[in-house]
Amino acid sequence: MYLFCNLRRPAFTFLVLLLLLTACGGHRNLVYFSDMSATDPAAPIKNFASPRIQPDDILTITVSSLSPESNVLFNNVLLPSNGNTGSLAEKINEGYLVDKNGAINFPVIGKITLGGLTKEEATEKMTDLIKAQVKNPIVNVRFKNFKVTVIGEVAKPASFTIETEKINVLEALGLAGDMTVYGRRENVLIIREKDGVRTTSRLNLNNKAVLTSPYYYLQQNDIVYVEPENKVKTADTAPGNRYIQIWSALITTAGFVIISIYN
C-alpha cells in the first residue's frame, strides 16, 4: 500500500502539472468576424467604389458596328492577304497602355484622355467620340491587367488577375489558399497606390466592422500582406521545439497509463 501511494502520487502530480503547462499557452483568435452573430441585420453595401483608370493600366477596347471595315479598323485586327473583311481576321489588339498623363492612343481618333474615369464613364466617352466615325457603335471597355497580390502567411502567395474587376479581401485570401495558422487575422496590411500616392491600412478580420472599411473591396494593383505571429511561429519552428507537441502527447499518454496501472 505504501509503495502504491508513493508511485501513484508523483505520477498524478506530474500529469496535473503537465496539463496546466499545456493550458497556459497563449490563446489566439483564428475565427473571422468572431464578434458577428447569426442575427446581425442586413446592411446595404456602401463601401464599394468602381475602379478608376490610372497610368500604366492596360485597357481592352472593342468596337462593334454594322460596318465590317470599321470593326477591323477600330479593333486593330489584321486582314487576310485577300483583303476579304468577311473572312476571319487575325487579332493583334494587345490592349491600350494608359500613359503617365492618363491618355491612350486609339486608331483614327488619336489620343484620348481616360485617366480618372470609371469603366462606364470611359465607355460613354469612347462611344461619343466613335459616333463621329461610325453609326451606332457598341463600345466595350475592360481592364486587361486588373490584379491583386497576396503575400505573407498564406498557403499560396501570388498575384492574381481578376476578370470581374471586383474583389474583396476575403476573396483574395481565398485565391491564395487562406491564411496559415500563423497569420495575424487582426492585423492584415493593405497597400494601395492611387493617383501617384501610396496609402496603407490595417484590417482586423476578427471584427465585423471591417466589412464597411473602404479597404475591404480591393482596387487594381493592391497588395495584401498577412503578418506572421512571430512569437508563436518562432516557438513552433525553433529546432529545439520542433517536436514539442509530439513529446507532450507521448508524455501525457504515458502519465495516463501509469495512473491506470496503479489504480
What integer pLDDT is reported at residue 214 of this predicted model? 94
Alpha helices in the chain (DSSP H): 2-23, 68-74, 119-130, 169-175, 230-237, 244-262
**Strand ranges inside 73-215, DSSP E:** 77-78, 90-91, 96-97, 103-106, 110-113, 138-143, 147-152, 158-161, 183-194, 197-203
What integer pLDDT is reported at residue 26 of this predicted model? 54
> pLDDT for 118-131, tens place per residue?
999 999 999 999 99
The domain defined by 58-143 carries CATH number 3.30.1950.10: yes
What integer pLDDT is reported at residue 223 of this predicted model? 98
CA proximity to 220, closest of 174, 138, 160, 132: 160
Evaluate whether 143 touches 119 at the Cβ level (below 8 Å).
yes
Kindly give, in sequence order, each residue whose CB lies less than 8 Å from that of residue 83, ignoring residues fewer than 6 positions away: none
> pLDDT for 133-157, tens place per residue?
899 999 999 999 999 999 999 999 9
What integer pLDDT is reported at residue 233 of this predicted model? 55
- Alpha-carbon distance of 29 to 179, in angstroms, equals 13
CATH 3.30.1950.10 placement within the chain: 58-143
Crossing angle of helices 2-23 and 244-262, in 10° steps, is: 150
pLDDT band at 68 (very low <50, low <70, confident <90, very high): confident
pLDDT at 243 over 80: no
- The class (CATH top level) of 147-228 is alpha beta
Question: pTM of the full predicted structure?
Answer: 0.72
Q: Are strands 223-228 and 147-152 parallel, antiparallel or unpaired?
A: parallel
What integer pLDDT is reported at residue 125 of this predicted model? 97
What values do phi and psi take at 233, rounded to 5? -65, -40
Contacts 24+ apart (CB under 8 A), 69-73: 70/133, 70/134, 70/137, 73/107, 73/108
CATH 3.10.560.10 placement within the chain: 147-228
pLDDT at 4 over 70: no
